[in-house]
Chains A and B, each alone.
Chain A
Amino acid sequence: SQKIEQNSEALNIQEGKTATLTCNYTNYSPAYLQWYRQDPGRGPVFLLLIRENEKEKRKERLKVTFDTTLKQSLFHITASQPADSATYLCALASGSSNTGKLIFGQGTTLQVKP
């Protein structure tokens, strides 16, 4: 069956360190993968998108990698700040799908301590 998995345990790191979150998937051939941020009581907010033919994407302190052989994406936040504390969701869409349906992981909660 198709699965997308993120670390369910919260990630606690010290301010200034690099946070690395993992997203693994099985039985998918996604054309692209997205990362969203969600704060408590709010809807997810889009952060980054990476396509299957891209290895790495950067935006300010954020970096995403996509390894279609390992079926894994890594999401990095460098020089982390307490304001980065939130739940981070990865999401997949199949290239053959025209429905716009995204499959989300369960999310990983990041806590950055000052």
Chain B
Amino acid sequence: DAGVTQSPTHLIKTRGQHVTLRCSPISGHKSVSWYQQVLGQGPQFIFQYYEKEERGRGNFPDRFSARQFPNYSSELNVNALLLGDSALYLCASSLDGAAGYSGANVLTFGAGSRLTVL
């Protein structure tokens, strides 16, 4: 069974450009979360989606947006790239993320997309 897959694995952009990162969750997982990890830091939460609805948003500007498709795959979009957006972008899937769910949210991460902004 395939794990969480992300594409592309590496990409280089210049300031002001736009980027789209893609993620396919583990089969059967309905929730996808996106995290940004800057070198030397822990992952920082950007978004969570469950059943195509946004369930949570971290402290990121509106240049960051995401969506989830009927097959539970997801895209993260970043507009007007800045040098500070250079990071490893991680996608994670989990079984549930429904409102009111109080179970532990154990995440399965993909290998990430390494974005470099020049």
B100, A46: Cβ atoms closer than 8 Å: no
Segment 93-111 of A: residues with Cβ below 8 Å from B: 93, 95, 97-107
Segment 88-118 of B: residues with Cβ below 8 Å from A: 90, 92, 94, 97-102, 104-112, 114
Q: B70 at interface (Cβ–Cβ under 8 A)?
A: no
A100, B31: Cβ atoms closer than 8 Å: yes
A47 CA / B116 CA spacing, docked (Å): 29
Q: B55 at interface (Cβ–Cβ under 8 A)?
A: yes
Q: Give the secondary structure class of B's interface.
A: loop
The segment from A14-22, A37-45, A61-69, A73-81 found at the interface with B is: A37-45
A107 CA / B110 CA spacing, docked (Å): 18
A99 CA / B31 CA spacing, docked (Å): 10
Q: B61 at interface (Cβ–Cβ under 8 A)?
A: no
B48, A107: Cβ atoms closer than 8 Å: no
A104, B42: Cβ atoms closer than 8 Å: yes
Segment 29-61 of B: residues with Cβ below 8 Å from A: 31, 33, 35, 40-45, 48, 50, 55-56, 58
A93, B55: Cβ atoms closer than 8 Å: no
A99, B109: Cβ atoms closer than 8 Å: no
A67 CA / B109 CA spacing, docked (Å): 27
Q: How far is the CB of B92 from chain A (nearest CB, A)?
A: 7
A101, B92: Cβ atoms closer than 8 Å: no
Set of chain B residues within 8 Å of A91, measured between Cβ atoms: 42
Q: How far is the CB of B38 from chain A (nearest CB, A)?
A: 10
Q: A31-B102, A49-B104 are in contact. Are A102 and B109 (CB under 8 A)?
A: no
B111, A100: Cβ atoms closer than 8 Å: no
> Which of B31, B98, B109 has the most CB atoms of chain A within a 10 A radius of its CB?
B109
Q: A43-B112, A89-B43, A107-B42 are in contact. Are A102 and B107 (CB under 8 A)?
A: yes
A27 CA / B107 CA spacing, docked (Å): 23
User: Can you name the residue of chain B whose Cβ is closest to the Cβ of A89?
Assistant: B42
Binding site for B on A (CB under 8 A): 6, 31-32, 34, 41-46, 49, 51, 89, 91, 93, 95, 97-107
Leading 6 A-B pairs by shortest Cβ distance: A99-B56, A43-B109, A104-B42, A100-B105, A100-B97, A101-B45
